[in-house]
Amino acid sequence: MRLAILPITALIFAAPALAQADSVTNYSTASDQSAQAVSAFAEAGVKTVAGVVALPLMVAAGGSAAVGSTAQGVGDSSMALADGTSQAGSDAADFSGQPLTVTDRVVLAPQPAPVVPYEVQKPK
Amino acid sequence: MNRRSLLLALAALPAAEPALAQDSSAAGSAKHLTPPQAAAFGKALEKDLATRGGRVAMVFRSGRARRSMPEGLSYTHGAFWVYRDIKTDGGQLKGYAVYNLYQGDGKALPKDRSSLVQDWPTNFMQGSVEDDVAVILPTPEMQRRLLAVIDSPTYAAMHIPSYGLVANPFESRHQNCNTFVLDIVACAAWQTNDPDQVRVNLRKWFKPSVIKVDPLTRLIGPMLDGRLAVDDQDGPIVTAAYESIAPFMADNALSATSYSFQRPG
């Protein structure tokens, strides 16, 4: 039993020391808080909108490359663009530092498909 | 591990505690900001970046309480914020999209693996347990080059799926969010898509963050959690963080500014 306690104890101490990065996805967090979040946004008067996709520059400018949907694995859409296209896209943008406009609406990603047990559960 | 080693290990752990200064706040970390607060924080930073004319920035949050962070480090997760046209169900808006490397959640993807995910400022801020983030705004030319890389196949090609909390930026065995950000910066700075060339260049020009860890922790940690892999480290544990990426970019004239952004009251 003591053999088991040591690794657990050691991990408790080791993880924070080594845990420099926290590249943890927020999906689980978002799911846990989903019910509260929806009502909280509404109660706070936050205007939200579902972001379908962030468009690479050439696509936004009227190009024809097809892109995916929702919060996607990056690379899916960009892989569809040739190097030259991407370069041209960045060349077309204005990098002069002039102020940019930003929507006042809060863009949200659709949450994962719902997972609801068939049988009645005890409320949390 | 024999009995003597076990006893030594048990004896050493209390001594390590002050240096490690861990706490149990991780479980509550996501609840530091309510969803509306996270949304407001994200929108405030979007407007700050837009006012500065920033099309590509790197933003770093604190996903762990400062008091439990390794010495000298204040931020954990870094990602690119890119000014985009955002297609919505009802039309098109202008704002920032966030380009992350996320470790697996242990369900859809093992925790010692990662994937590249694009989400939004609110998602990013929901992971913060502090009221500030750090921002690096690259020079206009670096922004142009970064955008070219992010929108090219090089971006995905530079991803190393094996996730390491303290990935060595000079090796190609593991990667985390910050070493990935650094790799993309290197691709843009040297205009290369060759991972080996990136490693060689970083060895020459990048001064990494050093994580102080006692030998026992270094020995046991990786045995218990794949994310704590240190098999890409052959000396002091080195990795990339805001605290090392910002000086690297400033020293090489790759950034226009870097700053801490406070959550509006």
ipTM field: 0.72
| Lowest mean per-residue pLDDT among A37-41, B130-134, B152-156 | A37-41
The whole-number pLDDT of residue B84 equals 96
**A91, part of any domain:** yes
Pairing label, strands B56-61, B237-239:
unpaired
pLDDT tens column, B83-116 = 999 988 888 999 999 999 999 988 889 989 999 9
What domain count does chain B have? 1
**B107, part of any domain:** yes
**A26, part of any domain:** no
**A99, part of any domain:** yes
Domain that holds residue A77: 48-109
**B54, part of any domain:** yes
Output DSSP code: residue B232.
T
Contact predicate A36/B31, CB 8 Å:
no
The whole-number pLDDT of residue B146 equals 96
**A67, part of any domain:** yes
**B175, part of any domain:** yes
CATH code where residue B249 lies: 3.90.1720.10
B182: helix, strand or coil: helix
Contact predicate B96/B121, CB 8 Å:
yes
**A120, part of any domain:** no
pLDDT tens column, A74-108 = 544 333 333 444 666 666 788 988 999 999 999 88
Give the CA distances from residue B36 to residues A32, A33, A107, B128, in Å, rounded to whole numbers and listed in that order.
Answer: 15, 12, 12, 13
**B4, part of any domain:** no
Using a CB-CB cut-off of 8 Å, the residues of chain B touching A84 are: none
**A116, part of any domain:** no
Output DSSP code: residue B152.
S
B251: helix, strand or coil: helix
User: Contact A53/B166, CB-based, under 8 Å?
Assistant: no
How many CB atoms within 10 Å of residue B4? 8
Which sign, positive or negative, has the C-alpha torsion A9, A10, A13, A16? negative
A residues 62-101 near B, CB within 8 Å?
71-75, 78-79, 81, 83, 85-87, 89-91, 93, 95-101
**A37, part of any domain:** no
pLDDT tens column, A13-65 = 455 556 667 776 654 444 444 555 666 777 777 777 877 778 876 655 554 33
Domain that holds residue B158: 27-259
What domain count does chain A have? 1
Q: What is the C-alpha separation between B6 and B11, in angstroms, rounded?
A: 9
**A64, part of any domain:** yes
**B20, part of any domain:** no
Alpha carbon of A120: minimum distance to chain B alpha carbons (Å): 24
**B230, part of any domain:** yes
Q: Is the pTM of this model over 0.90?
A: no
